[in-house]
Structure 1
């Protein structure tokens, strides 16, 4: 039996870890750290830093190369193929390092339940016949970090919030039932597809990290500034994680 702990680690700041997360990491027999290529080497560095900061006993920490998603062709088909490849990578590491079972921990950015596929991949392991028991340790999400950094509530009083992706915003426009719209996984300023009139935006990148960036204001006024800063910082670091909240008539 593999006891798989999916541990939300927030946005890379060790201070974002809960006491439950620290206990789960220290109770593990193995912690797997995915590498996403040299362009994102500081992401695995952050995971290493977290391990060094909170581990108080000798826990085996193993790094492995995470498969890369094919960005061409059908999006959902490519994601399914990518998840299959990740499942195979996880299964290979488990067979190699925990052949007799044990406690495995995976450190998940933000929270494993919000726009993350670790739970779906764990289901695929079970479908392959692996005896696996999954538990989730919730973490601070980038959405929480964004609203905290800007010191704003997520919603207006009695009003709904729609959480969507940059791809859906670009393809479908402003959600019909959205008073406030939070946008995640944006590959590149999907807000440019909107008429900016009357829209206020709160944007953040590298939330919780030393190089955190924040911009807020009327979308018509700040969108070019966001786009320019986003391109500059992505070129500097080789990657960027950003998220934003928009409201009409704010």
Structure 2
């Protein structure tokens, strides 16, 4: 029976791999990578750097395939179907890689940014592959240090506060309104910079929510040499984040960022 490791590799720093992750790397015959194209080739390079940091040179095999394009213009009612179509296209690639590139008793691995259980599709895609029945395998999951954990660590703050809940959401959801009943919100996948509506500039800020009454802890390329960190009252830090984010995206062609919005006591 083929076996697959789904390995959380952290936010980008090879030192953030856990001992369990390193053991899984060393028991793997073939590593499967999805190439996102020339613009994001650096992401593939970072994965290879991690392998080089923890495995003897020339001791491992990598098989790469082109990642299918996702309809990023899809919105509203068309968003979920577009994501499902993209996942199904990935499932076809995963099934082919496992069946053609892995011996029947071999062990393969997918290297997942951050933690496989947090806003990542690998687990659901593997379940789809198994449901199709074209190839059989077992798989296990190695948790990783998520960008959320790395973010608050780099800012030397905590994710939650005493007797208060914390919520993890997406930029798409934050744009619809600040979640009710929570003061600490972690935001991921925010291509539209939804934090701007809470900057309290008198135009986009919401009454009683934005401006000096809310702090932001933002990070991009966390754990890599290109890491950028900004924190402070959102009215002051927000414009700086917008500028730095635009400059970084122009320079590198892509960006991966996460942030924590923290509403101060008495401002709800």
After superposition, residues 27-176 of structure 1 pair within 5 angstroms as 27-56=27-56, 58-73=59-74, 74-129=78-133, 130-170=135-175, 172-176=176-180
- The CA distance in 2 between the partners of 1:114 and 1:190, in whole Å, is 20
List, as ranges, runs of 4+ consecutive aligned residues in structure 1 with deviation greater than 4 Å.
Answer: none
Deviation at 1:119, TM superposition (A): 0.6
- Cα deviation per residue 1:40-80 (whole Å; 9 max; x = unaligned)? 11000101111111113722211211112111331100000
Specify every segment of 5 or more residues in structure 1 that has no aligned partner in the other structure, as ranges: none
- The CA distance in 2 between the partners of 1:72 and 1:179, in whole Å, is 31
TM-score relative to the length of structure 1: 0.96
Tell me how large the CA RMSD over aligned residues is: 1.3
- The CA distance in 2 between the partners of 1:102 and 1:168, in whole Å, is 41
Specify every segment of 5 or more residues in structure 2 that has no aligned partner in the other structure, as ranges: 199-204
Aligned residues: 249
Q: Which has the larger radius of gyration?
A: 2
Deviation at 1:99, TM superposition (A): 5.0
Helix, strand or coil at the partner of 1:39: coil
TM-score relative to the length of structure 2: 0.90
- Contact 1:206 1:242 survives alignment (8 Å): yes
Deviation at 1:230, TM superposition (A): 0.2
Match of 1:210 in 2: 225
